[in-house]
Structure 1
Amino acid sequence: MAPADGDQRNDRGGVLADAVARFGRLAPRPALRGHVEAIWRSRVGDRVDAPLVIVPDARIDLIWTGSQLFVAGPDTSPALAPLPPGARVVGFQFRPAAAGALLRAPMHALRDARVDFAEFAGAAGRDLAARAADASDDAAALSILQDGLARLLADAPAPDPRLDALYARLQRAGDGESDLARLARAAGLSERSLRRRSLDAFGYGPRTLARILRFGRFMDALRARRGEPLAELAATLGYADQAHMSREVAAFSGFTPSQVRRQLGAPVAVSFKTHRRD
């Protein structure tokens, strides 16, 4: 993995985590699946000499670094993770609207924050981190973490299905609508109640949630090496135009769409329909 060069870094000196770290996903144990969607593992490249840029994805994660167990709250802007070359990280990605059952806190209170798990789980959280740190290897640490989370989630309530439906509605490709009145009617809630529940469950109101999920579709498109011109990609994803997409991508990543595309290695397409720059 090559070091990050100046063209790849944002104005804070960071490089996209997706570009310089290898990610793998595995299914959690059955006891966790009502609240944990996936376990991801990441290894930073050995020659990476820049902090990693973590972009918003409308999710909450419990992250283990080998020495620290902490909650990564819902982000609204890119965050820097100053991990050393070769670092290994494990994350438990919660299902939409499911983290509150474990953390017993509104997600808007954790927005753009990284908080030690012991702040939520007390002695049980400290003990879990200590036992994982004493594990013989990464596999043993992961087993300890899954066992501990299963115990903590044993009596946790399931996510509100109305919020599951809201998330799914806003996540669908091409469905960029975030009209609060329409969403509230679909959920069978008042507008005020829907916004409050959305803030508690996701950390965002419905409109911000919709923007971040659309940005996620942009990232997915580039990860899939879709090579259409940026103006066409903007239209496909429901942005008003390419300039609108560029503003949103910059807000959530710190990069232009072209910079993101270059970092992720997608082919650059040439369009004869537009000469607009991002």
Structure 2
Amino acid sequence: MVSKRPPDTALLAARAGRYREYAPPPALRRHFSRLWSNTLHDGPPAAVAIVPDGYCDLLWMDGRLDVAGPDRTAAFPAIRPGSTIIGARFAPGAAASWLRTPLSALVGLSVPLAEIGRRDTSEFEARLRDCPDPETAAALFGRLLEEAACDEDEPARDAALIFAAADSGRPASSLPDRLGMSERQLRRRCHHHFGYGAKTLERIRRFQRFLDLCRRSDTMSLARIALEAGFADQAHMTREVGALSTLTPALILDQLGMREEVSG
């Protein structure tokens, strides 16, 4: 179950467990940008914040394959302490084709893959349930995706260009001219491949630049991070970060930054 109601405090998913991500094998790189796993810490359950990143993920958790659709704001799923989630992050433009579903239909949702109608879902789930441990399941998960990828079309190239443009920090208003599309065509393609429009995607990718700067920061001030990430100023960053994550920039910097490691 996924809740959109923010708890009093929450841990970003990367801090709530042992999170690892790695590049997919060559056969999957057209369709997936990252493979990853996250084993949550044991102990009292903590509120876990899944923040928007502009992607859609395929997940193996609790004996079932789920699709985590793109988010506009943070989600707070109920996840058992000690459980392991194995995931594959779709490359821009790949998810809608792979799932035979426009991502606008999956915004803010976590949906069993079986409900979307892929024929191979039951077989994949049965084989993954037979794995004795998460490491074996992660290896098999990757192999099953490679098998499925053989029958998939190339991801939409225009979606990759739209994503790269949003990731560059350039204004979304310049996208139609740069991509040779009308505003209406761009809006339709964005909703199909990302679930929302270009301006929302741009906001989310700027927020992700903020998170990346926090991960690499040991001495950078919040005001400097705001400018480096592409916000107008620190107040703008505080509003945007709060709207997208429900957390403050200072709290996120405390969770992700290098200050503790450096001071120790």
Query: Structure 1 vs Structure 2: percent identity of aligned residues?
Result: 37
SS of match in other structure, 2:172: coil
Relative to structure 1, the CA distance from residue 211 to residue 67 in structure 2 (aligned partners, 3 Å threshold; closer, same or farther) is same
With the length of structure 2 as denominator, give the TM-score of the two structures: 0.89
CA distance in 2: counterparts of 1:32 and 1:64, whole angstroms: 17
List gaps (5 residues or longer) in structure 1: 1-9, 269-278
Relative to structure 1, the CA distance from residue 140 to residue 235 in structure 2 (aligned partners, 3 Å threshold; closer, same or farther) is closer
Q: Which amino acid in the other structure matches residue 189 of structure 1?
A: M
1:4 maps to none
1:262 maps to 254
Relative to structure 1, the CA distance from residue 184 to residue 11 in structure 2 (aligned partners, 3 Å threshold; closer, same or farther) is same
Relative to structure 1, the CA distance from residue 48 to residue 214 in structure 2 (aligned partners, 3 Å threshold; closer, same or farther) is farther
With the length of structure 1 as denominator, give the TM-score of the two structures: 0.85
Q: Which amino acid in the other structure matches residue 56 of structure 2?
A: I
Which of 201, 204, 210 pairs up with 1:209?
201
CA distance in 1: counterparts of 2:82 and 2:215, whole angstroms: 22
SS of match in other structure, 1:126: helix
* 1:51 correspondence with 2:43: no
CA distance in 2: counterparts of 1:165 and 1:226, whole angstroms: 33
Give the structure with higher Rg (CA).
1
Query: Post-superposition shift, 1:254?
Result: 0.9
Which of 171, 176, 181 pairs up with 1:184?
176
**Conserved in 2, the CA contact under 8 Å of 1:14 and 1:51?**
yes
* 1:245 correspondence with 2:237: yes
Query: Post-superposition shift, 1:28?
Result: 2.3
1:155 maps to 151
* 1:219 correspondence with 2:211: yes
Q: Which amino acid in the other structure matches residue 236 of structure 1?
A: E
- Residue pairs, 1:108-123, within 5 angstroms: 108-123=104-119
Q: Which amino acid in the other structure matches residue 211 of structure 1?
A: R
2:191 maps to 199
Q: Which amino acid in the other structure matches residue 144 of structure 2?
A: G
List gaps (5 residues or longer) in structure 2: 1-5
* 1:90 correspondence with 2:86: yes
* Per-residue CA distance 1:182-215 (angstroms, 9 max, x = gap): 2111111111001100110111211000000000
* Per-residue CA distance 1:218-262 (angstroms, 9 max, x = gap): 000111124322122212222122111101101111111011111
**Conserved in 2, the CA contact under 8 Å of 1:36 and 1:95?**
yes
Which of 56, 71, 83 pairs up with 1:60?
56
Query: Post-superposition shift, 1:151?
Result: 3.1
Query: Post-superposition shift, 1:123?
Result: 4.3
